[in-house]
Amino acid sequence: MLAAQAVQGVAQAGVGAYQMIRSQRELNRLRRQRMPSVLEARDPFVENIRMARQQYERGLDPATQRIMREQAARSQAGQFRRAGELGQSGAALSAIAGMNQYQSALQLGQMDVEARQRGMRALTSANLRYGSLLTEDARARRQYRMALEQQLGYAKQEGIQNIMGAYTGAAKTATDVGSQYGGGTIPGTK
């Protein structure tokens, strides 16, 4: 019976040592491990930010500006033709041209400002979404790492408990043997 208890104690200590060593090895590996990231698919967010910044910096795109200028020129040509048909003077035609250019420039400037404002809103929105993604990523990484460390910590704690249980069992066995033989020596050990 004593031999069986001794073997059981050694086995329990061995299991405990194995659990401690393995969990410590896993903890060390975990510290070096690259944590999974929500940001693996961040390219669309980065592209949205780039496009919004470009719209904000550029304002109204050149193609729209060209179309607006062409429409203003056609409108002005039509007004000159009508004014000429009505026999208006050069001063009147010049005044019409000045007013048309002023109105076209004003409208183009207003559209440019609106385009920049849309770009700013889009940039702000994209930056907020990306910032939220970064926050979510950091939180997910922290939770993932904490869960793994907790699991490995429990495994290490179980290993320590197994070793301590083996030592406690060995001490109890030694005490039982000592009391069984009246505090004397165990037969056959001298």
Q: Which of 173, 161, 168 is nearest to 16 (CA)?
A: 161
> What's the rounded Cα separation, in Å, for the pair 12 and 159?
9
pTM above 0.85, yes or no: no
- Provide the pLDDT for residue 6: 66
- Provide the pLDDT for residue 141: 81
SS3 45: helix
- Provide the pLDDT for residue 41: 60
- Does residue 186 sit within a domain? no
- Does residue 79 sit within a domain? yes
- Does residue 75 sit within a domain? yes
Q: How many independent structural domains does the chain possess?
A: 1
108-164 tens-digit pLDDT: 888 888 888 888 888 888 888 888 888 888 888 888 888 877 877 777 778 788 778
Residue 59: exposed, middle, or buried by beta-carbon count in 10 A (0-12, 13-18, 19+)?
buried
Q: Which residues of the chain have pLDDT under 50?
A: none
SS3 179: helix
- Does residue 185 sit within a domain? no
- Does residue 70 sit within a domain? yes
> What's the rounded Cα separation, in Å, for the pair 117 and 106?
16
3-state secondary structure 156-176: HHHHHHHHHHHHHHHHHHHHH
What is the domain extent for residue 34?
A: 2-180
> What's the rounded Cα separation, in Å, for the pair 66 and 45?
31
- Does residue 188 sit within a domain? no
Residue with tokens 């999974």: 36
Measure Cα distances from 161 to 28, 46, 49, 77 in Å: 21, 50, 54, 95
Q: H-helix or E-strand containing 189? A: none
